[in-house]
């Protein structure tokens, strides 16, 4: 990947730490008239425009995005590529929703053309929402992973994705076996892992759809690739938890199933984590794993209310994700807005600065990618989202009474969605621009 060179001027916002843990002055970097200088896809310099413009190379293009905000591209640590046509399916909790809508739909994804067109749609939708990196479940068909990575590579995006492993409790068209699940994952790792900006994630769907032999196969992969991402689901729904209790009678709780097979570790991302016990939280914390909060999905499927305070007290890394298509929006802004409401129902707060930290540096950390993405600092990859806080009449009206950056950000996350995306940059190249039709990929 060659990567673009340019300079971007705007109101820069980036986080060096979680604003909740550090003094605001140390956590939040905000430059009212700032410049980010990009060379070959990487951030070269960040600072005051007045200063950097004076010594900018004369051949550098400056894109002036004032008065808009420029942030690191949003990161979405958990979503499902094959669920773009499952989103907004009516009236079911998790287990019924999977059987009635999701599994039949995913059964189509052995067809490379179906998987390619869904991947194109998904990636364009993410870029329109300002999301530049995601943790992605494909289906159990290796073709779906080939299609997804091909499309992601064509756009130069940093993506983490994997083939779902599932060998029981689903329709035959979706089931692999312990052997094929292992072998197909292994082949995909060889083909894609570390190629450009792509990384593979070992992806057992969740305990109910894997036999013990398949979980052993996942364990074998995890120990062969100790630095690799792992992604799965944990403790989303009461009926799911009861199912796990029956299927793994030896296990004292849901989390222990994953522990037994060596899957609770750093860079292991567990979607949902709603109904965990104190012991389970301690196990996630000890393993250095990440709990991924998916508010629009948790509300839509009636799964329950994520307990952010308990996670934080337990010292667990937290991600914030859309969980398309249990989730109902591709937009991280809408996801943050719903996170605020879920936490409100728990009597907890989500200040805007913490929410924007979660969407950027926090999710980078949750995915173990914080050395490359998530902040506006030299050396990081040049993925940006440019946001318009006055994108709609509703927002413009509200902004008339906004006095501080925090108030602006809170109204932006509460009222904003993809309409607030002015532009999205991937590795120093403009990948989305508001008001233009989706541009074809460069040849």
**Residues of this chain that bind ligand GUN (CB under 6 A):** 80, 94, 98, 102, 205-206, 233, 236, 297, 323, 326
Per partner kind, with CB cut-offs from 5 to 8 A, the member of ligand GUN, Zn ion, none near residue 339 is: none
- Cβ proximity to ligand GUN: between 77 and 326 the closer is 326
Question: Residue 192 Cβ, how far from Zn ion at the closest point, in Å?
Answer: 21
How far is the CA of 253 from the CAs of 83, 219, 261, 285, 305, in angstroms? 29, 19, 14, 16, 19
d(CA 142, CA 140): 6
Asked if 181 touches Zn ion (CB under 5 A), the answer is no
- The answer to whether the beta carbons of residues 43 and 378 sit under 8 Å apart is yes
Give the binding range for Zn ion (CB under 5 A) out of 51-59, 66-74, 87-95, 264-272: 264-272
Residues in contact with Zn ion, counted by CB under 5 A, come to a total of 2
- Cβ proximity to ligand GUN: between 149 and 300 the closer is 300
- Cβ proximity to Zn ion: between 33 and 238 the closer is 238
Coil/strand/helix, residue 64: strand
- Cβ proximity to ligand GUN: between 101 and 432 the closer is 101
- Cβ proximity to ligand GUN: between 176 and 354 the closer is 176
Residues in the chain: 443
Per partner kind, with CB cut-offs from 5 to 8 A, the member of ligand GUN, Zn ion, none near residue 135 is: none
Q: What number of other Cβ atoms are within 10 A of residue 16's Cβ?
A: 15
- The answer to whether the beta carbons of residues 360 and 15 sit under 8 Å apart is yes
Residue 226 backbone dihedrals phi, psi, to 5 degrees: -65, -15
Q: Which helix (H) or strand (E) holds 353?
A: helix 352-357
- The answer to whether the beta carbons of residues 36 and 376 sit under 8 Å apart is yes
Question: Residue 237 Cβ, how far from ligand GUN at the closest point, in Å?
Answer: 8
- The answer to whether the beta carbons of residues 210 and 168 sit under 8 Å apart is yes
Nearest to 370 by CA among 226, 266, 240: 266
- Cβ proximity to Zn ion: between 4 and 319 the closer is 319
Residue from 130, 204, 262, 271 in contact with Zn ion (CB under 5 A):
271
Per partner kind, with CB cut-offs from 5 to 8 A, the member of ligand GUN, Zn ion, none near residue 236 is: ligand GUN
Q: Where are the beta strands (DSSP E) in 225-277?
A: 229-234, 268-272
How far is the CA of 130 from the CAs of 24, 29, 173, 399, in angstroms? 25, 20, 34, 21
Question: Residue 18 Cβ, how far from ligand GUN at the closest point, in Å?
Answer: 26
Asked if 323 touches Zn ion (CB under 5 A), the answer is yes
Mark 182-204 as b/e (b = at least 16 C-beta within 10 Å). Answer: bebbbebbeebbeeebbbbbbbb
- Cβ proximity to Zn ion: between 294 and 373 the closer is 294
Question: Residue 224 Cβ, how far from Zn ion at the closest point, in Å?
Answer: 25
Asked if 204 touches Zn ion (CB under 5 A), the answer is no
- What are the respective helix, strand and coil percentages of the chain, to the nearest 5? 40, 25, 35
Asked if 105 touches Zn ion (CB under 5 A), the answer is no
- The answer to whether the beta carbons of residues 192 and 185 sit under 8 Å apart is no
Asked if 295 touches Zn ion (CB under 5 A), the answer is no
Per partner kind, with CB cut-offs from 5 to 8 A, the member of ligand GUN, Zn ion, none near residue 206 is: ligand GUN
Q: Where are the beta strands (DSSP E) in 287-329?
A: 290-293, 317-320
Per partner kind, with CB cut-offs from 5 to 8 A, the member of ligand GUN, Zn ion, none near residue 422 is: none
- The answer to whether the beta carbons of residues 115 and 143 sit under 8 Å apart is yes
- Cβ proximity to ligand GUN: between 323 and 338 the closer is 323
Per partner kind, with CB cut-offs from 5 to 8 A, the member of Zn ion, ligand GUN, none near residue 297 is: ligand GUN
Question: Residue 80 Cβ, how far from Zn ion at the closest point, in Å?
Answer: 6
- Cβ proximity to ligand GUN: between 143 and 236 the closer is 236
Give the binding range for Zn ion (CB under 5 A) out of 110-118, 200-208, 271-279, 425-433: 271-279
Give the binding range for Zn ion (CB under 5 A) out of 46-54, 115-123, 147-155, 323-331: 323-331
Q: Which residue is nearest to ligand GUN (CB)?
A: 326
Question: Residue 78 Cβ, how far from Zn ion at the closest point, in Å?
Answer: 6
Q: Which tokens go with 252?
A: 């004292």
Per partner kind, with CB cut-offs from 5 to 8 A, the member of Zn ion, ligand GUN, none near residue 255 is: none
> How does DSSP classify residue 83?
G
- Cβ proximity to ligand GUN: between 323 and 383 the closer is 323
Using CB under 5 A, list all residues that contact Zn ion: 271, 323
């Amino acid at each position: 990947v060659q990567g673009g060179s340019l300079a971007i001027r705007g109101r820069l916002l980036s986080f060096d730490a979680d604003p909740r843990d550090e003094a605001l002055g140390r956590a939040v970097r905000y430059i009212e008239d700032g410049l980010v200088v990009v060379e070959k896809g990487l951030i070269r310099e960040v600072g005051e425009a007045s200063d950097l413009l004076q010594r900018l190379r004369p051949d550098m293009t400056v894109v002036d995005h004032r008065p808009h905000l420029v942030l690191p591209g949003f990161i979405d640590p958990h979503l499902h590529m094959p669920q773009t046509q499952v989103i907004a399916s009516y009236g079911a909790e998790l287990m019924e929703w999977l059987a009635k809508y999701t599994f039949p739909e995913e059964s189509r994804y052995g067809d490379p053309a179906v998987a390619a067109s869904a991947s194109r749609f998904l990636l364009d939708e993410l870029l329109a929402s300002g999301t530049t990196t995601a943790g992605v479940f494909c289906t159990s068909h290796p073709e779906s992973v080939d299609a997804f990575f091909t499309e992601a590579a064509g756009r130069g995006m940093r993506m983490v994705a994997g083939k779902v492993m599932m060998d029981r409790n689903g329709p035959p068209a979706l089931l692999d076996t312990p052997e094929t699940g292992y072998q197909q994952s292994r082949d995909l790792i060889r083909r894609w892992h570390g190629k450009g900006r792509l990384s593979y994630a070992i992806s057992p769907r969740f305990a109910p759809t894997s036999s013990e032999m398949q979980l052993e196969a996942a364990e074998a992969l995890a120990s062969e690739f100790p630095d690799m991402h792992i992604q799965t689901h944990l403790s989303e729904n009461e009926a799911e938890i009861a199912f796990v209790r029956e299927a793994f009678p030896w296990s004292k709780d849901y989390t222990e199933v994953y522990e037994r097979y060596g899957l609770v570790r750093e860079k292991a991302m567990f979607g949902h984590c709603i109904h965990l016990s104190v012991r389970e939280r301690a196990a996630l914390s000890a393993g250095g794993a990440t709990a991924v909060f998916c508010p629009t999905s948790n509300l839509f499927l009636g799964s329950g209310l994520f307990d952010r305070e308990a996670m934080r007290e337990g010292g667990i890394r937290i991600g914030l994700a859309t969980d398309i298509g249990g989730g109902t929006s591709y937009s991280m802004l809408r996801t943050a807005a719903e996170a605020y409401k879920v936490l409100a129902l728990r009597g907890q707060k989500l200040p805007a600065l913490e929410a924007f930290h979660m969407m950027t540096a926090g999710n980078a950390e949750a995915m173990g990618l914080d050395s490359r993405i998530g902040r506006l600092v030299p050396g990081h990859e040049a993925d940006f989202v440019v946001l318009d806080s006055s994108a709609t009449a509703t927002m413009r009206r509200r902004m008339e009474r906004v006095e501080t950056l925090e108030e602006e950000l809170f109204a932006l996350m509460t009222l904003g969605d993809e309409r607030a995306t002015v532009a999205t940059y991937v590795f120093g190249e403009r990948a989305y621009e508001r008001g233009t039709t989706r541009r074809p990929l460069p040849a």
